Amino acid sequence: MAESSGLSDEPNKKFQYYEHASKLLRNLNEMRKRPNLCDAVVVIGPTKIPVQKNILSAASLYFRALFDYDQHTTDTKDSASYVVSLDHLGIGANTFRLILDYIFTSEVQLEPSNIQDVLQAADQLLMSDLKDICCEYLNTCINPQNCIGIVDFTSQLSCTWWHAKVCQYLDANFREVSRHEEFLQLSSQRVEELLSRTTIEVEYEDQILDILLRWYRFQPEERKEETLKLLKSVLFAHQISKESMLALEEEKGEAEQEFHQELVSLRREEQARAFTKRGFVKVIVACGGEGPSTTEAGCFETKDYLRCVRPYSSGKAFSDWVDLAPMTTPRTGHGLVEVGGYLYVAGGRDNNCRILNTCEMYDPFKNCWKSFAPMNHARVGFGLVAIKNMIYAIGGSNDMTDPLTSMEVYDVCTGAWTPLSDMTMKRAWPCFVVADAKIYVLGGGIMGKFYESAEVFDTRSLTWYSVSPMRERRCDARAAAVDSDLYVFGGFRRIECPSAAHSGNACKLCGVEYYSEKKDYWVPLQSRFRAEGMCVASDRSQVNGALKYGDEILVVGELDMNGAVHSVRSFNPSSNTWDQVVVNTPKLQSRYQCCMLDLPRSLIHKLLIDRNASE
């Protein structure tokens, strides 16, 4: 028939009906209300709920294992004869109905009264997607009044990522948390666990003393002896100020006088003890890159450096770069992201021009690096971005000529890389940025041709689509997101007119563009009249990073300001103004990757002491 109709020479094509899955779910949802189409019954107390085994098996690893185990011993011809009891799991009938609704509709109604039951049931039934939704909801509910309870609850379940996020919130807001009843009612053992943490965000040890005294005064008749023990176990007594000691001495209570005497004794014992700082300092880190060789004059080499600088200190520029532990492998053209307080580095090119698939992680608490699972593909000039606990590696090149379209994702919690759908275009050295769980891929190029096109990967639907192209073609640019909108900085393009300033390399530094996600259009941004902008478009300028920092975007790199080279300048999107942040550049290091990191104050304090001692 195909030959007679003239279709035999037509190419094969694959078609997809995009409403198929949702339509199928709607029909299955209707079918489950008919007991004759169900093949099992779930029993919870006196309640019997007809179910379909294949649907439950597809949604829950628990049910899949249960039904697989029973398949040789149970007669499934009669649905009423296959009975599954969930009483031993402690899952209520209403909770299970909510979970069934989610399985068939992908929607679940969460509220404070049911969130713990649904999350615990999702954990027991091994439904990771529902657990993530529950944890997302919990994340919106966190406040100083309830975060300790959420910390304890998530620690009991395998919610590794979300537990870490709640702990970060607890540390960052601990002074406010300690004022509420949830903390004041804790046992002395739990108070000791919390106050022993050096990650608590406090400026002075006096604030830990205040928190401890507040806990004591909530139940003074019962807590005097426990408080005396806590003074010894959680407090760095030698760091308590004279003012706080005097204020405690002037208290008229008998217990306060005992506390004062205990502190005097502890301070005497701890005089030789090392000074310990609690909490974190937010820094910019510069990782890897290239620069002049330290051993051969006139040569360049790939760097293993990891350095940090604090962007602001009391409103003044802070320009002192501090060396941290170097990477185990020198890298340039690599990817760098921060996830859960740790740095993750992947790919790049080493000193022997080998393109790498190896990866390593920096632990700021130990100031050391360790390897983690290698990527499936070696990559250089690629995108590495993070969304929650997932790290996405996209595109790049594995032979310095032909770019890749492949994408893979690394789950920090499971330690495995998984392939995802490819980009639609081959492009090396593009710009990557995340906004609203979407990964934007902007510009880049192939074999000397630069692009202005843009495509987006939606991590929720796992699909690619195109958006409006940029106004300017650019390669190796950097971008930052403000809500769902984008700001793109730097990168290079071919010079398209004879009057463009250059020194023979036929490329020019690009300016700044703004993208409105709502309106899907790009706008070039110019500096205000006679005001300093990002930098001069000279051969010396290079943008290495664009980092969101409060209400500003910090642009990091080698930024030529008419002769002087700055390493960090801040851009205020609201006022379209620029300001100087850090002048000094990291020594012998350029084309590095950078990001923000919360570094323990104790580490910075130690590194500065060690450096001053060696000078």
Residue among 507, 573, 514 at smallest CA distance from 540? 507
270: which DSSP letter?
T
Enumerate long-range contacts of 251-256, CB under 8 Å, 24 or more apart: 255/216, 255/220, 255/224, 255/227, 256/213
How many Å apart are CA 496 and CA 342, to the nearest integer?
A: 42
User: b/e map of 279-315 (b: 16 or more CB within 10 Å)?
Assistant: bbbebbbbbbbbbeeeeeeeeebbbbbbbbbbbbeee
pLDDT tens digits, one per residue of 272-308: 677 788 999 999 999 999 999 988 888 899 999 999 9
Tokens standing for residue 398: 């594995």
pLDDT score, position 502: 43
Which span out of 9-23, 362-376, 526-540 was modeled with the highest average pLDDT?
Answer: 362-376
Summarize the confidence of residues 332-359 as an average pLDDT.
Answer: 97
Looking at every residue in the chain, the average pLDDT score rounds to 90
How many Å apart are CA 424 and CA 286, to the nearest integer?
A: 31
Residue among 381, 334, 338, 304 at smallest CA distance from 549? 338
SS3 509: strand
Strand 83-85 relative to strand 40-44, pairing: parallel
Distances (CA, A) of 550 to 17, 312, 533, 547, 553: 43, 12, 20, 10, 8
Summarize the confidence of residues 52-75 as an average pLDDT.
Answer: 82
Tokens standing for residue 380: 């250089």
Tokens standing for residue 117: 């039951």
Percent of the chain surpassing pLDDT 70: 92
pLDDT band at 313 (very low <50, low <70, confident <90, very high): low
pLDDT tens digits, one per residue of 413-470: 999 999 999 999 998 899 999 999 999 999 998 877 899 999 999 999 999 999 999 9
How many Å apart are CA 135 and CA 45, to the nearest integer?
A: 28
pLDDT tens digits, one per residue of 19-56: 888 888 888 888 888 888 888 899 999 999 999 999 99
Residue among 96, 103, 104, 97 at smallest CA distance from 120? 96
How many Å apart are CA 114 and CA 94, to the nearest integer?
A: 9
Residue among 599, 597, 604 at smallest CA distance from 275? 604
- Judge whether residue 3 has pLDDT over 60: no
Rounded to the nearest 10 degrees, the angle between the axes of helix 254-269 and helix 220-234 is: 10
Main-chain phi, psi angles of 411, to 5 degrees: -95, 115
Which residues are 21's β-sheet partners? none
Summarize the confidence of residues 7-12 as an average pLDDT.
Answer: 67
- Judge whether residue 315 has pLDDT over 50: no
pLDDT band at 75 (very low <50, low <70, confident <90, very high): low
Q: Where are the beta strands (DSSP E) in 443-575?
A: 445-446, 449-450, 454-458, 463-467, 478-482, 485-489, 492-494, 507-509, 512-516, 521-525, 542-549, 552-561, 564-572
Main-chain phi, psi angles of 502, to 5 degrees: -165, 170
- Judge whether residue 499 has pLDDT over 50: no
- Judge whether residue 602 has pLDDT over 50: yes
Summarize the confidence of residues 112-131 as an average pLDDT.
Answer: 95
H/E segment holding residue 460: none
DSSP string, 7-35: -TTSPP-----TTHHHHHHHHHHHHTT-G
DSSP string, 167-235: HHHHHHTHHHHTTSHHHHTS-HHHHHHHHT-TTS--SSHHHHHHHHHHHHHHSHHHHHHHHHHHHHHH-
SS3 574: coil
Query: What's the pTM?
Result: 0.88
Protein fold of 20-140: Potassium Channel Kv1.1; Chain A (3.30.710)
How many Å apart are CA 590 and CA 356, to the nearest integer?
A: 20
- Judge whether residue 505 has pLDDT over 70: no
How many Å apart are CA 193 and CA 279, to the nearest integer?
A: 16
- Judge whether residue 372 has pLDDT over 90: yes
- Judge whether residue 355 has pLDDT over 90: yes
- Judge whether residue 396 has pLDDT over 50: yes
| CATH 1.25.40.420 residue ranges for the chain | 171-269
Summarize the confidence of residues 169-197 as an average pLDDT.
Answer: 96
How many Å apart are CA 592 and CA 585, to the nearest integer?
A: 11
pLDDT band at 608 (very low <50, low <70, confident <90, very high): confident
Order the strands of the 359-363 sheet from edge to edge: 335-339, 342-346, 359-363, 368-372
pLDDT tens digits, one per residue of 532-551: 889 888 888 999 999 999 99
Summarize the confidence of residues 7-22 as an average pLDDT.
Answer: 74
CATH of 171-269, one of 1.25.40.420, 3.30.420.40, 2.60.120.260, 1.10.630.10: 1.25.40.420
How many Å apart are CA 73 and CA 417, to the nearest integer?
A: 38
pLDDT score, position 498: 45
Half-sphere exposure (Cβ direction) of 614: Cα atoms closer than 13 Å: 6
Order the strands of the 564-572 sheet from edge to edge: 542-549, 552-561, 564-572, 577-582
pLDDT tens digits, one per residue of 580-590: 999 889 999 99
pLDDT score, position 500: 43
pLDDT tens digits, one per residue of 78-109: 545 688 999 999 999 999 999 999 999 999 99
Rg of the chain's alpha carbons, rounded to an integer? Answer: 29
How many Å apart are CA 79 and CA 73, to the nearest integer?
A: 14
